[in-house]
Amino acid sequence: MNFRIPILKLRDTLIVSIQWELDDQTALQFQEDLLKKLHETSARGVVIDLTSIDFIDSFIAKVLGDVISMSSLMGARVVITGIQPAVAITLIELGIRLEDVMTALDLENGLDKLQLELEA
């Protein structure tokens, strides 16, 4: 069964809270949905909250890296929040660098960071 990940809009920011482990199809659908929503709303920022995700495989890690790069190409700043230790290890081991991506421990701090960045 494929679930769609809700993408909420708050002012000029899209907020995504991934609440369950992703399968390949759901990850690809999320990528498509987020890019479409960015295009439709002209949002300037995206916060992706991974607090509930304890593990990601190589395909999901690649899709996440691609989503971040594609969002940036569309003019949006991205903040990743709630990265668990195992997820951080997987991303680094797979060579997915988040050098231009802001990170925060939780959603609230991520929104604050993004707001400061967008105001600058």
- 92-120 pLDDT tens trace: 898 888 777 899 999 999 999 999 999 87
Question: In angstroms, rounded to a whole number, what is the distance separating the alpha carbons of residues 75 and 81?
Answer: 19
Question: In angstroms, rounded to a whole number, what is the distance separating the alpha carbons of residues 75 and 90?
Answer: 27
Residue 99 lies in a domain: yes
Domain that holds residue 27: 7-119
Specify the number of domains making up the chain. 1
Residue 1 lies in a domain: no
Residue 72 lies in a domain: yes
Instruction: Report which of 105, 3, 119, 99 is spatially closest to residue 47, judged by C-alpha positions.
Output: 105
Residue 2 lies in a domain: no
pLDDT of residue 101: 87
Residue 13 lies in a domain: yes
pLDDT of residue 2: 62
Indicate which CATH number applies to the domain containing 26: 3.30.750.24
What residue ranges of the chain have pLDDT lower than 70? 1-2
Token digits for 15? 């907020």
- Provide CB contacts within 8 A for 116, sequence distance 6+: none
